């Protein structure tokens, strides 16, 4: 074989491998995206839920309760009661994660998001921002205090 034939053969083999990889990847992606649950209506608050306004900002979380009291970096809730967090940001994108509840919601400027949950056990649970939001991002953590 001369150089030109080797070059054509090499190019053909590379193209076959790339096309096969692309088709395999496409098949995998299409096969695994059909059962993704659709997000719930972001504007509906459950009937018996207490609404708490949450404001994320560099580098803290502010919680405003229905009686207009506020707390910073500590969320106070009671066990067995349903809560809806209405979350926004005043500066950059943040992401509130409460790992013990499996709750995660983005805080986006001028775009309120919400999530509902019902704590089942008393205790003090950590929460944090999991979207990099600047040099002091690591300070955006606090506690959720669940009382009886």
3-state class percentages of the chain: helix first, strand second, coil last, to nearest 5: 20, 40, 35
| Domain parsing of the chain, residue ranges | 1-36, 50-147
Per residue in 106-115, pLDDT (tens digit) is 999 988 999 9
* Alpha-carbon distance values, 75 to 19, 93, 97, 121, 128 (Å): 52, 20, 12, 15, 12
8 A C-beta contact, residue 89 and residue 55: yes
Q: What is the CATH number of domain 50-147?
A: 2.60.40.420
Query: How many angstroms separate the CA atoms of 42 and 92, rounded?
Result: 20
d(CA 106, CA 28): 28
Structure tokens at 8: 């054509």
Q: Are 79 and 119 in contact (CB under 8 A)?
A: yes
Cα separation, 125 vs 146, in Å, equals 8
* Residue 33 pLDDT grade (very low, low, confident, very high; cuts 50, 70, 90): low
Whole-angstrom distance, CA of residue 63 vs CA of residue 55: 7
Note the pLDDT tens digit of each residue in 69-95.
999 999 999 999 999 999 999 999 999
How far is the C-alpha of 13 from the C-alpha of 19, rounded, in Å? 10
Q: Are strands 74-78 and 141-147 parallel, antiparallel or unpaired?
A: parallel
**What is the reported pTM?**
0.70
Q: What is the pLDDT of residue 9?
A: 93
Separation of alpha carbons 66 and 61, rounded Å: 17
**Cβ–Cβ < 8 Å for 133, 92:** yes
Across residues 118-124, what is the average pLDDT? 93
């Amino acid at each position: 074989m001369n150089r030109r034939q080797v070059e054509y053969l090499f190019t053909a083999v590379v193209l076959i491998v790339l096309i096969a990889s692309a088709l395999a990847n496409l098949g995998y992606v299409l096969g695994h995206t059909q059962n993704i649950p659709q997000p719930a209506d972001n504007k509906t608050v459950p009937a018996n839920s207490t609404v708490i306004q949450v404001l994320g900002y560099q580098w803290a979380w502010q919680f405003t309760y229905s009686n207009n009291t506020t707390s910073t970096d500590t969320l106070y809730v009671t066990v067995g009661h349903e809560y809806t967090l209405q979350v926004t940001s005043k500066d950059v994108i943040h992401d509130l994660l409460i790992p013990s509840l499996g709750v995660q919601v983005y805080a986006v400027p001028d775009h309120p998001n919400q999530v509902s949950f019902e704590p089942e056990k008393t205790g003090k649970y950590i929460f944090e921002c999991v979207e990099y939001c600047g040099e002091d991002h690591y300070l955006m953590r606090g506690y959720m205090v669940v009382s009886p």
